[in-house]
């Protein structure tokens, strides 16, 4: 199961305390202040990687802390700085700082963000020596590291998003167009997670089937609608054996509008799937209304290689035009 939304608590490392020490060695019974400064606490850093499943590691472990800085030592030695903690996220993750609702959108591969800064180390008593106070008996404590509550939300980045009602053949189509090996079956909601495939350098995303009310959480809910927002082009799949293809089309378009009306502005191709299930005359009749709306209409059957190749080429051509 793809984990695409998690909440965690993070804590940067605390700074080490400064030391109160005086030099005491043979032949130096009353040396001056000798306490070093504390080390800085480790930062917490977010880094994006090409692994859409990596949020799974934060599902059970929800609290993460960087290393604390070490305390100052004798001979004015500074404490060792705490190690930074690097948290890996999938490229395309939106990070929300829950305390102030600040949002960071991490769209680039290997993008780095310092999200929490470690505490400064405290000064040792060496730092407080002066002509009027040659034996300071105090030092500073290290400062605490920043602590935050974060929400990670993955939005897949793909060139083409396959959308449509459940059981219209999106997964089978993705398998034919790419080298993906997606589970397919003749029942609704076979696909419970978004699937990705690569076709001639283009990333195709099979978005799980949407139903009326998806924008309000019905069916698989609106969690998958957000994955559509990052796609460059939509391939709207409609089953050729549908009793009312235009109604099916409008159901999906309405859900896109309710979730984010900007989704309606994306380039769209209407694709009739499972064309082997209907006669040519019936199919022509069903697609007339889309032609009258100036929609680009394609046809596919997983049993017709020539058909699939035409769909491939059209996707490539349209992607070059729009992107």
222 is in an annotated binding site: no
302 is in an annotated binding site: yes
206 is in an annotated binding site: yes
301 is in an annotated binding site: yes
94 is in an annotated binding site: no
Which has the closest alpha carbon to 209: 251, 245, 165? Answer: 165
102 is in an annotated binding site: no
29 is in an annotated binding site: no
| Secondary structure E strands in 2-91 | 5-11, 44-49, 63-65, 85-90
| Residue 215, CB-side half-sphere exposure with 13 Å CA sphere | 14
273 is in an annotated binding site: yes
164 is in an annotated binding site: yes
8 is in an annotated binding site: no
315 is in an annotated binding site: no
38 is in an annotated binding site: no
Instruction: Record the tokens describing residue 151, joined without a space.
Output: 């929400």
**Coil vs helix vs strand at 252:** helix
207 is in an annotated binding site: yes
Is residue 51 within 8 A of residue 40, CB to CB? The reply is: no
171 is in an annotated binding site: yes
189 is in an annotated binding site: yes
Rounded distance between C-alpha atoms, residue 195 and residue 207, angstroms? 7
Backbone angles phi, psi at 80, to 5 degrees: -70, 135
168 is in an annotated binding site: yes
Is residue 62 within 8 A of residue 8, CB to CB? The reply is: yes
190 is in an annotated binding site: yes
14 is in an annotated binding site: no
**Coil vs helix vs strand at 257:** helix
Binding site as annotated, residues: 164-171, 189-193, 206-209, 273-276, 301-303
Binding site as annotated, residues for Mg(2+): 171, 191
Binding site as annotated, residues for GTP: 164-171, 189-193, 206-209, 273-276, 301-303
């Amino acid at each position: 199961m793809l984990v695409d939304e998690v909440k965690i608590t993070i804590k940067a490392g605390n700074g080490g305390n400064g030391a109160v020490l005086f030099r005491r060695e043979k032949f130096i019974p009353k040396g001056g202040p000798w306490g070093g400064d504390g080390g800085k606490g480790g930062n917490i850093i977010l880094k994006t990687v090409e692994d859409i499943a990596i949020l799974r590691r934060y599902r059970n472990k929800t609290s993460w802390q960087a290393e604390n800085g070490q305390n100052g030592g004798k001979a004015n030695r500074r404490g060792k700085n705490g190690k930074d903690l690097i948290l890996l996220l999938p490229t395309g993750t939106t990070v929300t700082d829950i305390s102030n609702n600040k949002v960071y959108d991490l769209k680039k591969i290997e993008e780095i963000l310092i999200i929490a800064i470690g505490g400064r180390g405290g000064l040792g008593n060496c730092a407080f020596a002066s002509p009027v106070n040659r034996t300071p008996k105090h030092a500073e404590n290290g400062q605490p590291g920043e602590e935050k509550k974060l929400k990670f939300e993955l939005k897949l980045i793909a060139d083409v998003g396959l959308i449509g009602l459940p059981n219209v053949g999106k997964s089978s189509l993705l398998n034919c167009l790419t080298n993906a090996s997606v589970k397919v079956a003749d029942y609704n909601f076979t696909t419970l997670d978004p699937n990705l495939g690569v076709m001639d350098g283009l990333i195709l995303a099979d978005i799980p089937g949407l139903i009326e009310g998806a924008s309000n959480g019905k069916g698989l809910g609106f969690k998958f609608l957000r994955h559509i927002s990052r796609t460059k082009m939509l391939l709207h799949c409609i089953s050729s054996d549908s009793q009312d293809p235009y109604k099916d089309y409008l159901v999906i378009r309405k859900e896109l509008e309710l979730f984010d009306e900007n989704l309606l502005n994306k380039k769209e191709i209407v694709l009739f799937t499972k064309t082997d299930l209907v006669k040519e005359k019936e199919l022509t009749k069903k697609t007339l209304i889309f032609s009258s709306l100036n929609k680009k209409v394609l046809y596919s059957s997983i049993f017709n290689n020539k058909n699939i190749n035409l769909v491939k080429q059209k996707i490539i051509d349209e992607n070059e035009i729009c992107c």
